[in-house]
């Protein structure tokens, strides 16, 4: 670890306050150097490590994604593993494995899955219907579908961005605060199906969730004109 990153143990939690115990000596000299002459608030980022090992569902998801890339590109699975494992190591500084003996965590395999999803969406790789998406990747998957206008059910491009949790009704799009809504990307076929069978039945059938967008994302997607 570098001299600004420390492994700690959580000793106590009280509301939004944490008491941490460092597992190595604090580099006071380095801290004095970076804060010399600085009068603002001293801040630190906290990453809480997930101690759980990855799940079989996560492993199936990773290999299902790579299988779709193989079908489209012809690149052997072993080569794809090498590429994505290297990319994970580049971004995290850690090695990863999906073998039965691996100690890779839920969070680490979730990050690996997101790297593969990024590749799929950025390179227009067709994917199958009915992915068994691990809960750790659900929101990211549906977010990527919306931001790339990819139907979250079948993978068809150029999908509609649907106000998923409630209808606009007769209100004009330009007068609505779209940040109050959830969104999902649906092709015309699945968009029509949602209206035919109703929102709740559509959710149960296709396991679709809506995601929130901020103002910048709403503007980028030109929602509301």
Say which residue, 28 or 134, is predicted with more confidence: 134
Q: What is the mean pLDDT of the chain?
A: 87
pLDDT band per the 50, 70, 90 thresholds, residue 81: very high
Say which residue, 115 or 20, is predicted with more confidence: 115
Question: pTM here?
Answer: 0.74
Please determine, for residue 96, whether its predicted confidence score (pLDDT) is greater than 70.
yes
pLDDT of residue 2: 52
pLDDT of residue 28: 81
Instruction: Please compute the mean of the pLDDT values over residues 203-222 and round it to a whole number.
Output: 92
Query: Is 172:202 a contact under the CB 8 Å cutoff?
Result: no
Rank 23-37, 139-153, 164-178 by mean pLDDT and report only the highest. Answer: 139-153
pLDDT band per the 50, 70, 90 thresholds, residue 3: low
Say which residue, 95 or 224, is predicted with more confidence: 95
pLDDT of residue 1: 44
Place of tokens 């590109």: 73
Q: Which residues contact 3 (CB under 8 A, 6 or more apart)?
A: 27, 30
182-192 pLDDT, tens per residue? 999 999 999 99
pLDDT of residue 12: 80
Query: Is 109:59 a contact under the CB 8 Å cutoff?
Result: yes
């Amino acid at each position: 670890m570098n001299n600004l990153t420390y492994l700690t143990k959580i000793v106590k939690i009280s509301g939004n306050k944490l008491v941490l115990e460092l597992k190595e000596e604090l580099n006071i000299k380095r801290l004095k150097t970076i804060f010399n002459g600085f009068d603002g608030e001293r801040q630190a980022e906290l990453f809480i490590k997930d101690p759980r090992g990855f799940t079989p569902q996560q492993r199936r998801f990773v290999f299902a994604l790579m299988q779709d890339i193989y079908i489209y590109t012809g690149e052997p699975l072993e080569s794809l593993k090498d590429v994505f494992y290297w990319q994970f190591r580049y971004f995290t500084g850690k090695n990863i494995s999906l073998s039965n003996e691996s100690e890779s965590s839920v969070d680490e395999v979730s990050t690996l899955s997101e790297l593969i999803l990024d590749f799929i969406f950025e390179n227009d790789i067709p994917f199958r219907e009915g992915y068994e998406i691990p809960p750790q990747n659900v929101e990211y998957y549906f977010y990527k579908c919306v931001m790339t206008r990819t139907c979250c059910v079948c993978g068809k491009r150029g999908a509609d961005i649907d106000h998923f949790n409630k209808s606009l009704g007769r209100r004009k799009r330009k007068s609505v605060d779209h940040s109050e809504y959830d969104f999902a990307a649906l092709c015309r076929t699945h968009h029509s199906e949602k209206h035919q069978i109703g929102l709740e039945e559509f959710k149960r059938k296709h396991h679709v969730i809506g995601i929130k967008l901020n103002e910048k994302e709403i503007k980028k997607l030109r929602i509301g004109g």
